[in-house]
């Protein structure tokens, strides 16, 4: 009966460990604002998105009849970075994003005025210029925002975070309870505790490796392409790192598990041998 309970506890320990590792991985990566900001820096997101903004502006200049120079310095990479951080902060903290398109509008208007200072504009042309300026500034906001439903993402993120944190705590308690019960049941033979804990560790490791292999076989992470190159590159980087982490945790747990199983069984057999030898001597 005790042996059966040990196996049940070991199975529960495995399930708790798996959920704990998966949930911790999510909470320390995509649900972690600092991690995401680091990844954006690492993948040159700001400079890539800056290039995308400039390229999108160029699409409008070709049909505008204006000199390309009117786009010079209307937006800086620093501003792109600030606005992106504002959006990230909005998603993670619910703070109101502050994308100041007015500065761009002013810079563009100044450049256009300088470029056309010797030309007398008709009211139609003035209206066309105003529409052009508004279109360019809207284009900037669209390129930076991408989705336009940050509030929804924040709500989803907020709910997921709550459950993730709760799941982490529950799993930690579950792991602790399983280990304590294993100790209580197997108090006289400590090596057995290690053996059952090691079985859980190995099973958890195998599961993580399987998860990584299944995902990698079904999704070509390195080819993920969403919205634009800057976003795709960052997403690929984050997805690859999460999968690599799962693989690493899996391999470590398998190695630690197998070594512990060997040691625990070795200790058990040596003790058994010594006991038998002692009994033989006594007889």
Partner 1 sequence: MHKKIVVKTLKATIISIIVALCFTGAIVLSIYLFYGAKINETMAVVSKYAIEKERKQLPPTTITEDNVIENYPEYGTQYATIEIPRIDINLPLYYGDDLKLLKTGIGQSPLGYFPGEGGSIVLMGHNFVNMFRRFSELQKGDKITIKATYGEYTYNIYDMQIIKETETDKIPIQDEKEILMVYTCYPFNNIGYATHRYVVYAELEK
* Closer residue to partner 1, CB minimum distance, 38 or 131: 131
Question: Is residue 183 near partner 1 by the rule CB under 8 A?
Answer: no
Task: Count Cβ neighbours within 10 Å for each residue of 35-72 and write b for 16 or more, e otherwise.
Answer: ebbebbeebebbebbbbbbeeebeeebeebebeeebbe
Task: Report, in Å, the least distance between residue 85 CB and partner 1.
Answer: 25
- Crossing angle (nearest 10°) for helices 229-282 and 33-42: 120
Are the CB atoms for 262 and 201 separated by under 8 Å?
Answer: no
The residue to which tokens 């010079």 are assigned: 72
Residue 197 makes CB contacts below 8 A (sequence gap 6+) with 10, 13, 179, 182, 260
Q: Which of 166, 210, 252, 255 binds partner 1 (CB under 8 A)?
A: 210
Per CB under 8 A, the segment of 27-35, 43-51, 62-70, 96-104 that binds partner 1 is: 62-70
Alpha carbon distance 176, 136 (integer Å): 58
Cα dist from 150 to 156, 164, 212, whole Å: 10, 20, 30
Side-chain-side CA neighbours of 201 within 13 Å: the count stands at: 19
Residue 134 to residue 149: CA distance in whole angstroms: 21
Q: Could you tell me which of 240, 196, 198 has the C-alpha nearest to residue 216?
A: 240
* Residue 112 Cβ vs partner 1, minimum distance, rounded to whole Å: 8
Task: Please pick, from the candidates 147, 149, 163, 273, the single residue that binds partner 1 as defined by CB under 8 A.
Answer: 273
> Going residue by residue from 121 to 160, which x/- string records binding to partner 1, judged by CB under 8 A?
x---xxxxxxxxxxx-------------------------
Out of 182, 198, 230, 233, the only residue in the binding site for partner 1 (CB under 8 A) is 198
CB of 102 to partner 1, least distance (A): 19
Among 62, 120, 148, 282, indicate the residue that binds partner 1 (CB under 8 A): 62
Q: Which of 25, 64, 234, 237 binds partner 1 (CB under 8 A)?
A: 64
User: Between residues 103 and 131, which has the closer beta carbon with respect to partner 1?
Assistant: 131
Q: Does 58 bind partner 1 (CB under 8 A)?
A: yes
Please report, as ranges, the residues that interact with partner 1 according to CB under 8 A: 7, 10-11, 14-15, 18, 56, 58-60, 62-66, 116, 119, 121, 125-135, 195, 198-200, 202-203, 206-207, 210, 215, 218-221, 223-226, 257-258, 261-262, 265-266, 268-270, 273
């Amino acid at each position: 009966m005790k042996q059966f309970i040990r196996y049940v506890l070991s199975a529960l320990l495995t399930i708790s460990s798996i959920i704990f590792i998966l949930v911790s991985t999510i909470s320390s990566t995509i649900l972690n604002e600092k991690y995401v900001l680091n990844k954006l820096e690492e993948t040159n997101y700001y400079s890539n998105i800056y290039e995308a903004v400039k390229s999108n502006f160029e699409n409008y200049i070709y049909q505008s009849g204006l000199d390309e120079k009117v786009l010079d310095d209307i937006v800086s990479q620093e501003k792109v970075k600030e606005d992106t951080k504002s959006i990230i902060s909005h998603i993670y903290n619910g703070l109101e994003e502050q994308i100041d398109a007015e500065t761009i509008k002013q810079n563009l208007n100044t450049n256009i005025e300088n470029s056309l200072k010797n030309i007398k504009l008709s009211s139609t042309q003035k209206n066309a210029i105003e529409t052009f300026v508004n279109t360019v500034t809207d284009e900037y906001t669209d390129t930076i925002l991408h989705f336009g439903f940050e509030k929804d993402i924040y709500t989803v993120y907020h709910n997921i975070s709550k459950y993730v944190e709760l799941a982490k705590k529950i799993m930690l308690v579950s792991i602790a309870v399983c280990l304590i019960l294993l100790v209580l049941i197997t108090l006289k033979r400590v090596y057995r505790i290690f053996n059952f804990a090691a079985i859980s560790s190995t099973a958890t490791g195998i599961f993580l490796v399987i998860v990584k292999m299944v995902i990698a076989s079904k999704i070509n992470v390195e080819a993920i392409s969403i919205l634009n190159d800057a976003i795709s590159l960052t997403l690929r980087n984050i997805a690859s790192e999460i999968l690599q982490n799962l693989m690493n945790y899996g391999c470590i747990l398998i190695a630690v598990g197998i070594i512990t199983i060997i040691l625990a069984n070795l200790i058990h057999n040596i003790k058994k041998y010594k006991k038998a030898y002692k009994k033989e001597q006594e007889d």
